[in-house]
Structures are given as structure tokens and as C-alpha cells.
Amino acid sequence: MAEEKKISKKVLSKAFHTWYYGHLTCFSQEHMQTFGFLCTMLPIVRDLYPNDKAAQDRSMKTYTAFFNTEPQLGAVVVGITAGLEEARANGADDVDDETINGLRAGLMGPIAGIGDSLVVGTLIPILLGIALGMSTGGSPLGAIFYIVVWNLIAYFGMKFLFYKGYSLGGKAVEILVGAQGEAIRESVSMLGAMVIGAVANTWVSIKTSFQLVNASGEAYLVLQDKLDSVYPGLLTAVFVFICWWLMAKKKMSPIKVMGILVLVALVGVLIGFFNPGLHY
């Protein structure tokens, strides 16, 4: 009976670090993370088929299929794939190219949905909010905090997911794409929306300086005071909503949205609607 093939700890570590540092290898709009995944699987394939070039070629061709997801949580997909490749090397009849690529394609969307909400929409804004608070007065502590804490969370979080995916193998699919996965995505999306709203309210402040004066030069209507008496923070909410609408519904890039905001601010200052408070 042939000896069971097992990916060594050293090779698993090398594969994980390849994904951690190189998931955007040769990134392009056509291939996205395909070649990053390919490079990650290379040491695993070599370890499982050390003297079988045909098997190496077959397995590497498997990973030329398109792949793209949220890279931090996406580490679990890489781990699962490593476990499936190990099963194939040991003669599992139900694991072939179609099985592996079908699983990868099936997990890309759910993982991206969870990861974008949890990492991009929740974790990063929280860390940036803390860092901005620590940077008051020009302190470098905020930048240092964000760089250190984010990299620690990303590294150890990705490492945990990679090895967990490897140990679970195909069993992880039921968790990620079934009813539990749907509940996780909805919960995280809701939490992400709440966090983004809180961050916007804390760090975005838009006020108008528009007012009407009488013949003696005294203001008898201050627009900002009227708005605050009806809906405090109304202008901030309107601008945040417009930015979301332009990017989410009109598919406008963040650079273009920022350009529009600069133009609005410039025109607003020229007509006296905004007052930047600059003195020369």
C-alpha cells in the first residue's frame, strides 16, 4: 500500500507566506489574483508530486483559472484548496480539476461579500477612526498604531484562516455557502453599515456660512442655525449620501467623486455658501 502523501509544515508555511505577500502577483483586470494563487500552490504541488512532472503540470494548469476575492478572508479558500490537492494526490476519486475550480469559483463571491463588509467596511474604518483620534495635533502615534495593529491582525488572521481551511477541506464549503454563510453575510453587512455611518458622523462635518443681513449689516437669518434646529448634521448626511449614490449607483470612481467635491467646495466658497476660515 502506497504511503499517504502529506504536505509538510515547511511547505504549508511557505505557501501561506506566498499568499500573504503575493496574492496580487502580476495583478491585472484580466487575471486579478489568478497568478497569486498559482504561485501559492506551486510549492504544494512540488511537495506532493516531487517526481511526477505530468501530475505537476496537470495540477498547475488547474490554478490558471480566474480567481479573485477579498484577500484576507480569501486565505481560507487557499487552505481548502491545499487540502483538496492533498486529497487528490492520495487518490481521491471525487477530487478533480472541475471539483477544485468549481469550489474556488463558488467561494469567491461569498468570501468577497463577507470580507468586504467585515474587513473593508468594518475593521479598517474602526482602526482608522482610532488612529485619527490618536493623530490629533499632528502626533505620529496614529499612523504607527494603524500600521502595526492592521498588519498584526491581517497576518495572524490570514494564517489562522489558511490553516483552518486546510484542516477542514471540503467541509468548509457547507459553512460558507449555506444558510450559515448567508446569515453571516447579512449580519456583517449590517454591522459594516452602522460602522460607516458612525465614522462619517464623527469625522465628516459640513457646515454653511450662508446668512442674510439687514441694512445695518446684522444677520437676521443664519442658515446653519436653522438647519441645526430642524436636523443637526443635515448637510453632512446629504453629502455622504450623494457620495454613496455616485459610487454605488452611478459606478463613479472615488477619484471622480473627490474631484466633484473639490469643485463644489470651490464654487461654494466663491459664492459665500462655505467659509473655509482662511485668513491672509
pLDDT score, position 263: 93
| All three cell numbers of 30 | 484580466
246 phi-psi bin (left φ>0, alpha ψ -120 to 50, beta other) = alpha
Contact residues for 209 (Cβ-Cβ < 8 A; gap 6+): 224, 272, 273, 274, 275
pLDDT at 192: 57
Q: What's the pTM?
A: 0.62
In the Cβ-directed half-sphere of 207, how many Cα atoms lie within 13 Å? 12
- Averages of pLDDT over runs of 10 residues in the chain (280 residues) are 76 91 83 88 88 84 84 88 82 72 77 79 84 83 91 92 80 54 61 65 80 79 85 86 87 88 90 75
What pLDDT does residue 177 have? 47
Torsion sign, CA atoms 152, 181, 92, 69: negative
